[in-house]
Amino acid sequence: MPQSPELLRRLLRAKDRMDGASHEDWPIRRLAQVSAVSEAHFARSFKDAFGAPPHRYLLTRRIERAVALLRDTDLSITEVAFQTGWKSLGTFGRVFHDITGESPGNLRARERSAPHGREHVPECMVRAAHRPDLKIAVSEKRRAKAVEKI
């Protein structure tokens, strides 16, 4: 069933807040308040509207930002982790690897060693091309890899 334009505007308000401050904590309660809907309705409606639950969407944004910082700055990996909202370097590294398939250090080394020619490509296109694929939960990816090894 299609969602009402009013509900979509409310959901976009919450999505925009997450995009603007992905380093902050965004529990469902806070997002629902921003959208002025109940928590359960928000969680269901967000997934229907944007194709991913709010937490998974937030992880995608955090990892995108971390990739950009690793590629474009000289910040340490620890600084990148904390600037993108992670409270634990270990969790950041594990989730980063689960989503991108490589460690933050390996990604930085690879990105810096390869000539890109990105100066002719709009940043929004570069980000879209490198957007992490989070169609399934990170824990589901880990389980699938464990089963493959057996």
Q: What is the CATH number of the domain that holds 70?
A: 1.10.10
> Of 17, 34, 51, which residue sits at a domain end?
51
pLDDT at 111: 86
Residue 7 CA to residue 143 CA, distance in Å, equals 35
Q: What is the pLDDT of residue 112?
A: 83
Which pair of structure tokens corresponds to residue 86? 């992670």
Domain boundary among 31, 51, 71: 51
41 and 113 belong to one structural domain: no
Contacts of 88 (CB under 8 A, 6+ apart): 81
CB 12 within 8 A of CB 3: no
Task: Supply the pTM of this predicted model.
Answer: 0.72
pLDDT tens for each residue of 103-121:
999 999 998 887 655 566 7
Q: Are 71 and 132 found together in one domain?
A: yes
Radius of gyration of the chain (CA): 17
Q: What is the mean pLDDT of each run of 10 residues along the chain (150 residues)?
A: 86 95 94 94 94 93 94 95 95 93 94 69 68 64 73
Domain count, the chain: 2
**Phi, then psi, of 2 in degrees rounded to 5:** -65, 145
What angle is formed at CA 49 by the lines to CA 95 and CA 124, rounded to 5 degrees?
60
